[in-house]
C-alpha cells in the first residue's frame, strides 16, 4: 500500500525588516484539500527568522497529525537553498533555528523541500499576516 503524500506550504511575514512578524503554514492532501492550518505571532523579528519559524510551525503540525511523507513548498529561495545544503547558514540566530529544523526532518520517512513562486504560497502568507493582525 502506498503511503499518502501531504503538502506543506509555509511562509513568514514581517512588517518592516526587522519588524513585527508572523508565521503561517498550511497542510493539504495531494488533491489540495486543506487538512491543517496554523499561524503564530512572532513579535519583533527579521523576515528570515519569520520564514524559519513558519517552517518549524508547519513541520511540527505535520508531525502532530502523523503525516510522514511530506512535500514542502517555500517562497524563500534562501531557506530552500540552506535546507538543501547549497548555501551555508551564517547568522547565529538562524543557525539555532536551522538546528531545530534539522532535528525535525529525521522524523519524516520522506521529505522534499522545493522553492515555489510567492503566488503559489498565498494561503500560508495570508495566515502569517493574520497572526500579525490578530496580535
Distance CA(70)–CA(108), nearest Å, equals 7
Q: What pLDDT is attached to residue 3?
A: 77
Q: Which of 58, 43, 38 is nearest to 107 (CA)?
A: 58
In this predicted structure, the answer to whether residue 2 has a pLDDT above a threshold of 60 is: no
CATH assignment of 6-89+115-133? 3.30.420.10
Helices (H) and strands (E) in the chain, counts: 4, 5
In this predicted structure, the answer to whether residue 99 has a pLDDT above a threshold of 50 is: yes
H or E stretch covering 43? strand 34-45
Q: Which three cell numbers stand for residue 109?
A: 520517512
Q: Tell me the per-residue pLDDT of 62-89, one tens digit each, with 9 for 90 and over.
A: 999 999 999 999 999 999 999 999 999 9
**Full-model pTM:** 0.96
Residue boundaries of the structural domains of the chain: 6-89+115-133
Q: What pLDDT is attached to residue 55?
A: 98
Q: What pLDDT is attached to residue 135?
A: 81
Amino acid at each position: 500500500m502506498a503511503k499518502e503524500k501531504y503538502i506543506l506550504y509555509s511562509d513568514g511575514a514581517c512588517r518592516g525588516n526587522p519588524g513585527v512578524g508572523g508565521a503561517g503554514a498550511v497542510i493539504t492532501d495531494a488533491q489540495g484539500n486543506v487538512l491543517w492550518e496554523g499561524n503564530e505571532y512572532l513579535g519583533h523579528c527579521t523576515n528570515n527568522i519569520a520564514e524559519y519559524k513558519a517552517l518549524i510551525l508547519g513541520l511540527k503540525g505535520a508531525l502532530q497529525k502523523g503525516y510522514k511523507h511530506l512535500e514542502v513548498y517555500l517562497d524563500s529561495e534562501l531557506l530552500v537553498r540552506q535546507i538543501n545544503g547549497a548555501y551555508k547558514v551564517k547568522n547565529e540566530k538562524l543557525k539555532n533555528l536551522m538546528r531545530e529544523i534539522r532535528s525535525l526532518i529525521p522524523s519524516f520517512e520522506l521529505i522534499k523541500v522545493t522553492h515555489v513562486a510567492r503566488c503559489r504560497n498565498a494561503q500560508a502568507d495570508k495566515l502569517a499576516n493574520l497572526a500579525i493582525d490578530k496580535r
